[in-house]
Amino acid sequence: MISMDAQKAKDVSILAQRIRIATLREFKAIGFGHIGGSMSIVEVLAALYGSIMKYDPQKPQWEERDWLVVSKGHAGPAVYAALALSGFFPVEQLDTLNQGGTNLPSHCDRNKTPGIDMTTGSLGQGISTAIGVALGHKLDKKDNFVYLILGDGECNEGQIWEGVQFAAHWNVDHLITFVDANKKQLDGYTQDINNLSGLAEKFACFGWHSLEVDGHDVVQIIEAVEKAKQVKGKPSVIILNTTKGKNCCFAETVFLNHHMVITGDMADEAIKELETAMAECGCGEGGATK
């Protein structure tokens, strides 16, 4: 007999694999995409939509909802998959990714996609908008949390550190930031382009509550968020140690996997591997999404 907590962890892990599969189907339909950074944030998206965040897919603008700002907006396809699987719009719409007339553009757009709280894609800028929303909630005495996802390469931007300093100064304690530390950016390893080692310590030195976890372990992510929610008077950051292209057979071991051409055969092989792994663990393609 699986305990309730263990069952919840299993459900969120299943959701993560379903997000991966749905994201791959998006890329199969268009034939290319930002596969690496989409795959590396799947578990945090599953934890957020499957366990952590308050939201109502029937009322995307619900005043009491928690907000998600995905500053690394090129990972939009994974976000869209999570939204569709959570009921914000029909899963069939995922086939229109980045095509003419779509509501699912390459980068997230709050004016087009139900469930997208903030338009993003220009790297470095998402932290400013997330802080603005969180500070606004604080001034209005609202309990909503704002979750922000940054890329590690994105942390090369000076605007990130201006925001980090500002949020600490103004005690923005309902802001929880994730850094997708997948160790790569567009054209190489972060350590070779602009070394970002010690990110957890850097944030802590700026006055943030700082944690570091396995970014592909949903239990560690959920527990870290619960700890962060208890912290008063300062923002929190959770460094997610991840792998770019995680669990995607044609991308995970490829050096330049930020953006790739993705043929139907490539996508089908990766989907088959994921579905087989789910079947072997008795998960099938089902599982709770809330």
pLDDT tens for 256-278 read 999 999 999 999 999 999 999 99
Q: Give me the pLDDT at residue 285, please.
A: 54
Is 60 exceeded by the pLDDT of residue 281? yes
Q: Give me the pLDDT at residue 287, please.
A: 39
Beta carbons of 95 and 154 less than 8 angstroms apart: no
Query: Where are the extended beta strands (E) located within the chain?
Result: 32-33, 67-70, 146-151, 175-181, 184-185, 188-189, 209-214, 236-241, 260-261
What is the C-alpha separation between 135 and 165, in angstroms, rounded? Answer: 14
Is 80 exceeded by the pLDDT of residue 123? yes
Kindly give, in sequence order, each residue whose CB lies less than 8 Å from that of residue 102, ignoring residues fewer than 6 positions away: 93, 96, 112
Angle ∠(263,265,266) on CA atoms, nearest 5: 65
- Share the mean pLDDT of the chain: 94
| Rounded (10°) angle between helices 126-139 and 158-169 | 10
Is 70 exceeded by the pLDDT of residue 88? yes
Residue 202, judged by CB atoms within 10 A of its CB (0-12, 13-18, 19+), counts as middle
Beta carbons of 176 and 206 less than 8 angstroms apart: no
Which residues lie across from 260 on neighbouring strands? 33
Q: Strand, coil or helix: what is 181?
A: strand
Domain boundaries, given as residue ranges, for the chain: 4-280
Is 90 exceeded by the pLDDT of residue 288? no
Kindly give, in sequence order, each residue whose CB lies less than 8 Å from that of residue 4, ignoring residues fewer than 6 positions away: none
Which one, of 15, 8, 24, lies nearest residue 285 by Cα? Answer: 15
Beta carbons of 230 and 223 less than 8 angstroms apart: no
Categorize the per-residue pLDDT at 284 as very low, low, confident or very high, splitting at 50, 70 and 90: low
Is 50 exceeded by the pLDDT of residue 2? no
Is 70 exceeded by the pLDDT of residue 3? no
- pTM of structure: 0.95
Topology (CATH level 3) of domain 4-280: Rossmann fold (3.40.50)
First vs last Cα of the chain: how many Å apart? 21
Beta carbons of 133 and 126 less than 8 angstroms apart: no
Q: Give me the pLDDT at residue 197, please.
A: 87
Place of tokens 């029909």: 90
The whole-number average pLDDT for the span 53-80 is 97
Is 80 exceeded by the pLDDT of residue 289? no
Q: Give me the pLDDT at residue 1, please.
A: 38
The whole-number average pLDDT for the span 193-219 is 96
Which pLDDT tens digit goes with each residue over 228-248?
A: 999 999 999 999 999 999 999
Q: Give me the pLDDT at residue 4, please.
A: 52
Query: Quick one: what percent of the chain has pLDDT higher than 90?
Result: 91
Q: Phi and psi (nearest 5°) for 66?
A: -80, 150
Q: Sort strands 188-189 and 260-261 into parallel, antiparallel or unpaired.
A: unpaired
The whole-number average pLDDT for the span 41-53 is 98
Which pLDDT tens digit goes with each residue over 145-181?
A: 999 999 999 999 999 999 999 999 999 999 999 999 9
User: Between the CA of residue 39 and those of 124, 180, 251, what are the distances in Å?
Assistant: 20, 11, 9
